[in-house]
Chains A and B, each alone.
Chain A
Amino acid sequence: MAQEILSAGIDIGTTTSQVIFSRLRLEDNSYTAVPDVKITQKEVLYKSPVYFTPLCDDGNIDAKALDRLLLAEYARAKVKREDIATGAVIITGESSRKQNARLAVEQLSAAAGDFVVAAAGPDLESVLAGYGAGAADYSEKYPAAVANFDIGGGTTNVAVFLGGELQDAFALDIGGRLVRLNPNHCVNYLSPRIEPLIASLGLSLQVGRKAELGELIKLAEAFADICRRVCLDEPLTKVEQKLYIGHGKRLGRLSAVMFSGGVAEYIKDTPVVSWDDILRYGDIGPLVGAAFWRVFSAQTAVQLLNSRERIRATVIGAGSYAVRLSGSTVMMDDELVPLTNVPVIRLEHPERPKALMQEYRLKRAVYPPHQQVAIALAGPAGGSYEELIKLADGLLAATAEVKQILLVVMEQDFAKALGLLLKHRGGGRQVICLDRIHAQPGDYIDIGKSVAGTVPVVVKTLIFKS
Chain B
Amino acid sequence: MNETEEFVSDISLPEVKERVLIEHPQSLAMIKRLKKTTNARLGVGRAGDRYKTETLLKFRADHAIAQDAVWTDIDETLIDEMGFYKVQTLVQNKEEYVRRPDRGRIFSDVTMEAIKRDCIHNPDVQLVIADGLSGFAINANLKDIYAIMMDGFKEKGYRVGTPIFVRYSRVATMDKISEALGATVTIQLIGERPGLATGESMSVYMAYKASSKKPESQRTVVSNIYKQGIPPLEAGAQVVHLTEVLMREKKSGVELKI
Q: Are A34 and B222 in contact (CB under 8 A)?
A: yes
Chain A: minimal CB distance from B192 (Å):
12
Contact segment of A108-116, A204-212, A418-426: A418-426
| C-alpha gap A417/B232 in the complex (Å) | 9
Restricting to B25-52, which residues have a CB under 8 Å from any CB of A? 26-27, 29-30, 33
For residue B87, CB closer than 8 A to chain A, the reply is no
For residue B154, CB closer than 8 A to chain A, the reply is yes
Restricting to A420-435, which residues have a CB under 8 Å from any CB of B? 420-421, 423-424
For residue B183, CB closer than 8 A to chain A, the reply is no
| Residues of B contacting A338 in the complex (Cβ-Cβ under 8 angstroms) | none
Chain A: minimal CB distance from B137 (Å):
16
For residue B172, CB closer than 8 A to chain A, the reply is no
For residue B223, CB closer than 8 A to chain A, the reply is yes
| C-alpha gap A412/B228 in the complex (Å) | 11
Q: Are A413 and B231 in contact (CB under 8 A)?
A: yes
Interface string of A115-148 (1 = CB under 8 A from B): 0000000000000000000000000000110000
| C-alpha gap A291/B236 in the complex (Å) | 60
Q: Are A329 and B234 in contact (CB under 8 A)?
A: yes
Q: Are B237 and A420 in contact (CB under 8 A)?
A: yes
| Residues of A contacting B75 in the complex (Cβ-Cβ under 8 angstroms) | none
Given contacts A163-B33, A414-B231, contact A385 B148 (CB under 8 A): yes
B224's closest neighbor in chain A, by CB? Answer: A32
Q: Are A416 and B241 in contact (CB under 8 A)?
A: yes
Q: Are B151 and A424 in contact (CB under 8 A)?
A: yes
Chain B: minimal CB distance from A56 (Å):
50
Interface secondary structure of A, over-half rule: loop
| C-alpha gap A329/B224 in the complex (Å) | 15
Chain A: minimal CB distance from B81 (Å):
14
Interface string of B229-248 (1 = CB under 8 A from A): 01111111110111000000
Q: Are B222 and A385 in contact (CB under 8 A)?
A: no
Q: Are A32 and B222 in contact (CB under 8 A)?
A: yes
For residue A447, CB closer than 8 A to chain B, the reply is no
Q: Are A420 and B222 in contact (CB under 8 A)?
A: no
For residue A248, CB closer than 8 A to chain B, the reply is no
For residue A183, CB closer than 8 A to chain B, the reply is no
Interface string of A343-376 (1 = CB under 8 A from B): 0000000000000000000000000000000000
| Residues of A contacting B231 in the complex (Cβ-Cβ under 8 angstroms) | 383, 412-414, 417
Interface string of B141-177 (1 = CB under 8 A from A): 0011001100110110000000000000000000000
Q: Are B155 and A416 in contact (CB under 8 A)?
A: no
| C-alpha gap A385/B143 in the complex (Å) | 8
Chain B: minimal CB distance from A286 (Å):
38
For residue A388, CB closer than 8 A to chain B, the reply is yes
| Residues of B contacting A414 in the complex (Cβ-Cβ under 8 angstroms) | 231, 233-234
For residue A35, CB closer than 8 A to chain B, the reply is yes
Chain B: minimal CB distance from A152 (Å):
32
| Residues of B contacting A415 in the complex (Cβ-Cβ under 8 angstroms) | 234
- Residue B221 contacts which of A32, A329, A424 (CB distance < 8 angstroms)? A32
- Residue B242 contacts which of A33, A144, A419 (CB distance < 8 angstroms)? A33
For residue A300, CB closer than 8 A to chain B, the reply is no
Q: Are B29 and A143 in contact (CB under 8 A)?
A: yes
For residue B13, CB closer than 8 A to chain A, the reply is no
Chain B: minimal CB distance from A1 (Å):
8
Give the B-binding residues of A (Cβ under 8 A).
32-35, 143-144, 163, 329, 331, 383-385, 388, 412-417, 419-421, 423-424
Give the A-binding residues of B (Cβ under 8 A).
26-27, 29-30, 33, 143-144, 147-148, 151-152, 154-155, 206, 220-224, 227, 230-238, 240-242, 258
Shortest beta-carbon contacts, A-B, top 6: A416-B237, A143-B27, A417-B233, A417-B237, A385-B147, A424-B155
